[in-house]
Amino acid sequence: MYPRRTAQPVPAATNKPVVLRASGGNSILSELSNECVAVAMEDALRLNVCAVAAQVYIGSEYEHQSINNIIKLVDAGNRYGMPVPAVTGVGKEMTRDARYFSLASRIAAEMGAQFVKTYFVEEGFEKVTASCPVPIVIAGGKNCRSMRRWRCAGGRSTVARPGWIWGATSSSPAPRARCLRR
């Protein structure tokens, strides 16, 4: 880990896209949704990342602040042509269901996020994708069979996380690649 402002840029020859999380400023000792924009867009450009993300906490104590963080990053990203995804955050006391993730994903898209990273829920995930007008990336978590079945059945505008798609130990990536093309 590099101290702030001394991080090394992503080498131009790198073929793996890097998305930089730009929101933060809290610790596990305080309310997690109390974040600010911690990285300037100019620094993200200097680091040669392909997108700059922020967490959005709908329904939390600091909801307004997290939405404002997304808006600020989207405005700065638009000036430089930098995509800004939103990551749906869930507080400890919040319900992790399709209703919540539908609302959080839709609000993030309405605030300008070019895509949304959210969690997969087994019941009603089609509601999450139907309510969100931008692509959705499924956040990490369990490698559940229902998520694979849902994606391979043609789930709308959803891309699973790369580690899940290719798997570090996968000996047969071809079926997974076919699944993505559908």
Predicted local distance difference test score (pLDDT) of residue 32: 78
Q: Which of 156, 111, 115, 114 is nearest to 137 (CA)?
A: 115
pLDDT tens digits for range 82-115: 999 999 988 666 778 899 999 999 999 999 999 9
Task: Name the least confident of 24-38, 72-86, 157-171.
Answer: 157-171
Q: Within 10 Å of residue 27's Cβ, how many Cβ atoms?
A: 8
pLDDT above 90 as % of the chain:
38
| Known catalytic residue at 117 | yes
Q: Which of 122, 119, 143, 148 is nearest to 132 (CA)?
A: 119
Predicted local distance difference test score (pLDDT) of residue 28: 72
Per the listing, tokens 């730009």 go with 22
The pair of three-digit structure tokens given for residue 92, joined into one six-digit string = 């400890």
> Residue 69: phi, psi to the nearest 5?
-60, -45
Q: Is the dihedral of CA 133, 59, 93, 85 positive or negative?
A: positive
Predicted local distance difference test score (pLDDT) of residue 168: 40
The pair of three-digit structure tokens given for residue 173, joined into one six-digit string = 């990536």
pTM to 2 decimals?
A: 0.76
| pLDDT classification of 164: cutoffs 50, 70, 90 | very low
The pair of three-digit structure tokens given for residue 167, joined into one six-digit string = 């798997």
Catalytic residue among 16, 117, 127, 142: 117
d(CA 124, CA 77): 32
The pair of three-digit structure tokens given for residue 54, joined into one six-digit string = 């922020």
| pLDDT classification of 165: cutoffs 50, 70, 90 | very low
Q: Within 10 Å of residue 146's Cβ, how many Cβ atoms?
A: 13
Domains present along the chain, CATH in parentheses: 19-181 (3.20.20.70)
Q: Do 41 and 52 form a contact (C-beta atoms < 8 A)? A: yes
